[in-house]
């Protein structure tokens, strides 16, 4: 039986450890910054973290009027227009009717509503296995899309947008 040296054992352990112990291979994180639109002063950040096939989305915003506001994923990662119309309509790769997330039909971009407090600050969190970050599946992949915060709340019934009003902030979902 042939003996191997200590350096060979250490090297082998490092190779095995890198291949099997890497949890980062199964997780990804995107942090985005919102750009004010439609002459608003809305700012904030959003994060998408994917672990083991589930994406956790969190957005924290400020500069809003107190009350309910909608947030949606839109078709394009283009925030160049002053009113964010360049981001297109809601992301709807499965061609469903607009609706409330998780109830009946809804777009993959129909995240929902959140409430801004008296100081104009609001946040929302959503966990789903219906999205991925860069997986290449056109029905799940959020990369290359836009994230839009709206002036009002989503009524979950008006087609195809939910009647949520002006686009107050935009961020491209890109790496």
Query: Domain coordinates of the chain in residue numbers?
Result: 26-173
Q: Read off the pTM.
A: 0.84
Give just the sign of the alpha carbon dihedral 107, 110, 111, 112.
Answer: negative
User: 9 to each of 18, 20, 78, 142, how far by Cα in Å?
Assistant: 14, 16, 51, 42
> What pLDDT score was predicted for residue 23?
41
Mean pLDDT of successive 10-residue stretches along the chain, which has 175 residues: 46 37 67 98 98 97 98 98 97 95 94 98 98 96 98 96 96 96
Main-chain phi, psi angles of 86, to 5 degrees: -65, -15
Please give the pLDDT value at position 74: 97
pLDDT of residue 25: 59
pLDDT number for residue 7: 47
Q: What is the pLDDT of residue 3?
A: 52
Residue 11: half-sphere exposure toward Cβ, Cα within 13 Å: 5
Q: Which CATH architecture has domain 26-173?
A: Sandwich (2.60)
Our CA dihedral for 149, 153, 157, 163, rounded to 10 degrees, sits at -70
């Amino acid at each position: 039986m042939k003996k191997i040296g200590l350096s060979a054992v250490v090297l082998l352990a490092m190779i095995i450890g890198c291949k099997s112990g890497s949890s980062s291979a199964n997780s990804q994180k995107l942090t985005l910054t919102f750009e004010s639109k439609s002459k608003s002063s809305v700012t904030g950040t959003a994060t998408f973290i994917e672990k083991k096939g589930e994406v956790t989305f969190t957005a924290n915003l400020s500069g809003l009027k107190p009350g309910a506001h909608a947030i949606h994923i839109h078709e394009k990662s283009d925030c160049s227009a002053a009113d964010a119309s360049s981001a297109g309509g809601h992301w709807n790769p499965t061609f469903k009717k607009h609706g409330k997330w998780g109830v009946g039909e809804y777009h993959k971009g129909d995240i929902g509503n959140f409430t801004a407090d008296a100081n104009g600050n609001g946040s929302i969190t959503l966990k789903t296995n219906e999205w991925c970050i860069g997986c290449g599946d056109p029905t799940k992949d959020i990369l290359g899309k836009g994230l839009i915060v709206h002036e009002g709340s989503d009524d979950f019934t008006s087609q195809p947008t939910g009647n949520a009003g002006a686009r107050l902030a935009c961020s491209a979902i890109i790496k």
